[in-house]
Chains A and B, each alone.
Chain A
């Protein structure tokens, strides 16, 4: 990032190569699988470029970019009325990443369906911690909550996910 701030295009390409897949999946999760995730990904990196002076090297790059992506998503959601339609179509389940911890609890499809029915706050904290590996302090900084609240959301999310998976499997049996 420091090289990028110094004006290196190669550094930007490296950052994009490293972070874009994760940021895209995060945006896809936020946008509930909508195709707009690709647009938001480009927007995020464009905003990162415009805001690169705001980055301080003492911060980790990943949470900084993920936080920026979240802000881009929220601004876009506020700006565009079409999001109402997107949120109504929650049945079109996005390609949520499947948590390694939950992998043994059910099939990928079951986990995906259960995550889609968690509260958005819980699902976001759960995925940020278990899927993308952010610490609770980093999640707190990205979401504007305390680290304890981030931990509680992820923990409750995981508990609810377990319950939902059990219910789903029992219903299936």
Chain B
């Protein structure tokens, strides 16, 4: 008995209608490495705009640059994991994915607390971190306004980076697009946070975790939504069944 399924006519028609040549997606590692210059560029804009935080001498190079470098590497690792999640035959063990997500959260909290313990002062509140606008804003800024500025600013930078990542990922999410989007969104948020924490002069945990953390959460949510929509566009099961 021949039990091999016949190629349905409707499926053939659907395939034939859209059979243009496509460029193969790069491997997950190459995909992640492609994101490095983009992430570096967007996350360092704030440094170019307002410079390094004034207490960097107190923190030392390890806690200023080293901690951010570690965050950045973790961010790229999240993007790499996202690329694996989007590949049907190359998924990583679930434990590894969970561990990376937990590690990312813990690193942010740990670096925040360590920075605060080394330099708890709020010098940044007395002068505007936005030197370029110094003449236009009062000498002492409310912590709420500072939180708002950092939250909105880093969220905007994060959104730009998530959009860039989504563009690079647009043809590479064959499976689990929402999970992949969440992960590369988290990677984008972490990369932005790595840059902003070197520039932002406020060490208090409520500011670093509240304002900067909110930006990370925003990029995670945005990444998940974009991943889902990219997936729905291509993988919506049952929408156009032959």
Contacts and interface: CB of A to CB of B under 8 A. Distances in A.
Interface stretch (A60-68, A85-93, A160-168): A60-68
Interface string A146-162: 10010000000000000
B87 interface: yes
Interface in B16-75: 16, 18-27
Contacts of B3: 21
Contact of B87 (A50, A56, A66): A56
Interface residues of B, number: 46
A59 B87 contact: yes
Contacts of A143: 91
A142 B91 contact: yes
A65 B88 contact: yes
Interface in A111-158: 138, 140-146, 149
Nearest to B10: A42
A57 B22 CA distance: 12
A81 B213 CA distance: 37
Contacts of A171: none
B145 interface: no
A84 interface: no
Interface string A42-54: 1101110111111
Given A21-B4, A142-B91, A144-B91, A56 B15 contact: no
Interface of B is mostly: loop
Interface of A is mostly: helix
Interface string B75-102: 0000000000111111111110100000
Interface stretch (B110-118, B204-212, B230-238): B230-238
Interface stretch (B134-142, B167-175, B215-223): B167-175
A36 B158 CA distance: 42
Nearest to B94: A144
A62 to B, nearest CB: 8
B7 A20 contact: yes
Contact of A53 (B5, B23, B95, B235): B23
Q: Residue among A21, A45, A143 with the most chain B CB within 10 A?
A: A45
A128 B23 CA distance: 30
Contacts of B20: 7
Contacts of A24: 5
Contacts of B97: 144
Given A5-B21, A53-B24, A53-B25, A68 B88 contact: yes
A72 interface: yes
Contact of B21 (A6, A12, A70): A6
Contacts of A52: 22
Contact of A146 (B27, B93, B176, B237): B93
A52 to B, nearest CB: 6
8 contacts: A17-B4, A21-B5, A38-B5, A49-B14, A54-B86, A54-B172, A71-B176, A146-B93
Interface of B: 3-5, 7-8, 10-12, 14-16, 18-27, 85-95, 97, 171-176, 234-235, 237-238, 240-242
Interface of A: 2, 5-9, 12-13, 16-17, 20-21, 24, 38-39, 41-43, 45-47, 49-60, 63-68, 70-72, 75-76, 79-80, 138, 140-146, 149
